Amino acid sequence: MHLISLNIGIPKAEIFHGKEVTTGLCKQPVRDRLSLTKTGFVGDGVQDRKHHGGEDKAVCVYSADHYPHWEKVLGEKLPAAAFGENLTVAGLKEERIHLGDLFRLGTALLQVSQPRQPCKTLAARYGRNDFVKLVVDAGYTGFYFRVIEEGEVGAGDLLEIATMDPQAVSIAFANRIFHHDRKNKGGIETVLAVPALSASWRESFSELLKNCDTP
């Protein structure tokens, strides 16, 4: 896996299909090396702090390998950082990335914390009310890193796995359980058993487990 582009942007007013939306989704590639802190890249920001950002979701990652699929679906050429991701990466598959995996990027050490959940702002950007469902159904969600060791990152850096989590619970598996198999008690427990799972997903999966035990 290697980094195609490093993308940042601060929230501002955007016009999506005639409607004004204030968002940090429309990030732009930068060539400079950037400092990466526990809460994300210096110079980056999010608008909706309830659902985005924070230490568990410091860095959003998306695969450029999925771009051709979405260009065919949408019938248009996608812009850079089309999914609002900080890191656009080649050679990434959700089936091969696991919750808790540790990666080196530049001088930073990063840990996979949860899948990325597509939001209504992403749907608004492309003028498709069904876009969230399309992303979920395809499984091409991307994921988030938390920052274990702060450092500096630049475009072209290799994204190298340092340690694979021993439980090997993939992003694809977590997505399947959360979005499509919500009564699968064993699957829910498998995801919950990963110590690195983000606080918000742990809360959601704990609620799923509680519902499984409710008559």
**pLDDT tens-digit series, residues 67-97:** 999 999 999 999 999 999 999 999 999 999 9
Query: pTM for the full model?
Result: 0.95
User: How many percent of the chain have pLDDT more than 70?
Assistant: 96
Taking each helix axis from N to C terminus, what angle separates 185-192 and 199-212, rounded to the nearest 10 degrees?
150
pLDDT above 90: residue 127: yes
Res. 118 pLDDT band, cuts 50 70 90: very high
Average pLDDT value for residue range 104-127 = 95
pLDDT above 70: residue 48: no
Say how far apart CA 189 and CA 71 lie, in whole Å.
Answer: 36
Res. 50 pLDDT band, cuts 50 70 90: low
- Which CATH number applies to 2-165? 2.40.33.20
Cα dist from 124 to 1, 121, 161, whole Å:
30, 5, 34
CB 61 within 8 A of CB 86: yes
For the chain, give every domain's residue range.
Answer: 2-165
pLDDT above 80: residue 53: no
For residue 100, the model assigns a pLDDT of: 98
Listed in sequence order, the residues at least 6 apart from 51 whose beta carbon sits closer than 8 Å to its beta carbon are 117, 119
Q: Render pLDDT for 152-172 as a digit per residue (tens, 0 to 9).
A: 999 889 899 999 999 999 999
Q: Is 42 helix (H, G, I), strand (E, B) or coil?
A: coil
